[in-house]
Amino acid sequence: MTTFITAGHLITPEQWIDAPVIVVDAGIITDLRARHEIELPAAARCLDFPDLILAPGFIDIHIHGGAGHDVMEADDKALARIEMLMARHGVTAYLPTTVTAPEGRTLQALEHLGKAAGRNENSRRAIPLGIHLEGPFISHAKRGVHPPANLIQPSPGALERFWQASEGKIRLMTIAPEIPGAVETIRYARTLGVHSSLGHSNATYEETRAGIAAGADHATHTFNAMRPLDHRDPGILAAVLEDDGLSADIIVDGIHVDPSVVRLFLRAKGDDRAVLITDAISATGMPEGVYKLGDFEVQVKDGRCESAGKLAGSVLTLDRAIRNVMGFAHWQLQRAVKLATLNPARLLGVTNQRGLVATGRRADLVALTHDGTVVHAIIGGELIGDSPNTRSK
């Protein structure tokens, strides 16, 4: 059945369109016009959001869990609850993200997540596009809360084991470029179609440049778990911030990175190469208390997630991250939305499907207020159940 979706405005995000009409058949956008250019059939099935702004569904490429569950649980019901929570906050696609664990446990989680990433896309919740492997190829010096006993030296063979377990569904790999074997592993990742993201790293500037030359094209939660920037020892941060060919993500919750540094990051990477992530853990959407990240416990209080005194993920949602960019950097909604839609889609190479509202793309959308508050999510042209901010039309 054909569905007509109308709203007050549309962010594509490359354009701002007033009074749009989006035509959807079988979950795909087949036409997109201004309201005055098309006549709706009298008996048309219509989703109308006259006071709201439509935008592409958000894409979170770094998320560990939510709704009391962790993606490492290897449980279908747990994953479904995480995905429903994400959808209520406007996330329609994502990369479930592992955390360093004993290799057997990681392989088990990858096997389960690989099967989940291959499921039918006619889902009324956020859809996994693949897997983000965060750890175990990271630096001891900048491991954060990742268990040191489970870190391993990167090698093409080690990556191949993880790749096979995931049924070829690993799309992104966080790796410290200074570790022996990292450059060779980054090169091998390219042959598999896996994007290498530089992070959890104590790399020098030269070591970082070697990782980029080998094929790394992204950076993980910039500033966090990275060698500090020094004017005589620029390190990984200088390479990440200056390289126009490298995209980079950041946790904009006001806890992981100070708002002034967020503004500097956005000036350096611009609205084409900056990506918003949540790094959210099982505590997201839950009361304060003690929760799990992989195999270890995290204390959550006043919005901070800590394990042994160190930050351990967040309870951030992607819609809140967009609003924080608007507040911290005084960006307009259209510009901020791009960091959670088109930019991650470009990194993953899925702009022919997601991240952009245009004909031929999936009808994965979010309906927002002018301040960026999510009111509704639409997946495959179908309105998802009540969001945290649903208003009657």
Q: Are 356 and 364 in contact (CB under 8 A)?
A: no
Query: 101 and 43 in one domain?
Result: no
Query: 293 and 245 in one domain?
Result: yes
Q: Structural domain tally of the chain?
A: 2
> Of the listed 279, 295, 319, 371, which one is catalytic?
279
Question: What stretch of H or E contains 332?
Answer: none
What is the domain extent for residue 121?
Answer: 58-348
Query: 69 and 48 in one domain?
Result: no
Give the relative orientation of helices 259-273 and 318-329 as an angle to the nearest 10 degrees.
110
Is residue 22 in a domain?
A: yes
Q: What is the pLDDT of residue 389?
A: 43
Query: 145 and 43 in one domain?
Result: no
Among residues 34, 5, 41, 4, the alpha carbon closest in space to that of 20 is found at 34
Query: 149 and 49 in one domain?
Result: no
Query: 140 and 36 in one domain?
Result: no
Rounded Cα–Cα distance for residues 384 and 228 (Å): 43
Q: What is the pLDDT of residue 39?
A: 84
Instruction: Mark the ranges of the chain whose per-residue pLDDT is less than 70.
Output: 120-122, 386-393
Residue 132 vs residues 174, 184, 192, 234: alpha-carbon distances, Å: 8, 19, 14, 27
Query: 125 and 172 in one domain?
Result: yes
The whole model's pTM is what?
0.96
Is residue 328 in a domain?
A: yes
Please report, for the domain that includes residue 364, its CATH number: 2.30.40.10
DSSP code of 97?
B
Query: 148 and 47 in one domain?
Result: no
Q: What is the pLDDT of residue 390?
A: 38
Please report, for the domain that includes residue 309, its CATH number: 3.20.20.140
386 is catalytic: no
Q: Are 171 and 190 in contact (CB under 8 A)?
A: no
Query: 51 and 66 in one domain?
Result: no
Query: 205 and 68 in one domain?
Result: yes
Kindly report, residue by residue over 67-105, the tens digit of the pLDDT. 999 999 989 999 999 999 999 999 999 999 999 999 999
Count Cβ atoms within 10 A of the Cβ of residue 89 and give its class: 0-12 exposed, 13-18 middle, 19 or more buried: buried
Query: 27 and 150 in one domain?
Result: no
Query: 199 and 296 in one domain?
Result: yes
